[in-house]
Amino acid sequence: MTRKLLLVQASAGGPNSASRKLASLFVDAWKATFADHDVRERDVAADPIPHVAQAYLANMRSAPGRGDGQERRATFALTKTLQSEVLDATHIVIATPMHIFSVPSSLKAWADHIFHNGVTFAGSSTGVTGLLSGKKVVLITSRGGDYRPPSPLADFDMLVPYFRRLFAFCGVSDFASFDAHNAIFNAEDHAAQLEKMPDEMASFAQNWV
């Protein structure tokens, strides 16, 4: 079986971004372990995805027809492409900084295009069934403060819980996160974490079947 990994990058910090460096180390360790692999990258910082607008909402109600405008057809094509990347993947790695306790708007736009009823979940009056069961997800984050318990900031972390619950809603039970704290508030502590994390991630990646 060919393992198909989708890497979603969201940092606007360029090559010096901690989340980008960690994601690269993780993916390299994973590729070195599994000979049969295919990696696709989606960079929502370098190639921004349009936020919810009128064309997007119209497409949510019905597929565009021949008489509909170019913007609506282009939005529909992008949504289908983004959805197919997720549906086709067996493994998903999301690398992102924390923005104001939560998800960067560029990454939220990505999620808005993908997580639709009938695509990633099936919802009705009788309940919800996740359609992404069997997929594996790793979230790699970098944040300016310390959000590890018992830090007073721990309850403000809405980044990891957002993705954990979003994917759980869609049937994903295999979810893990690697989080680098204190990039701004304590550079020495942040550097110490970055020094340890490659070994931790490599060990995890080698068993991320």
> Contact at 8 Å (CB) between 154 and 148?
yes
Contact 59, 76 (CB under 8 A): yes
List pLDDT tens digits, range 155-165. 999 999 999 99
pLDDT band at 146 (very low <50, low <70, confident <90, very high): very high
Across the range 4-15, mean pLDDT stands at 95
Angstrom distance (rounded) from CA 200 to CA 22: 11
Question: Could you tell me which CATH class the domain 3-205 is placed in?
Answer: alpha beta
pTM: 0.95
Q: What b/e sequence results for 181-194 when a residue is b if at least 16 CB atoms lie within 10 Å of its CB, and e otherwise? A: bbbeeeeeebeebb
The pLDDT value recorded for residue 66 is: 77
- DSSP string over 58-95: HHHHS---TTS-HHHHHHHHHHHHHHHHHHH-SEEEEE
Give domain limits for the chain: 3-205
Model confidence at 65: pLDDT above 80 = no
Q: What is the DSSP letter of 118?
A: T
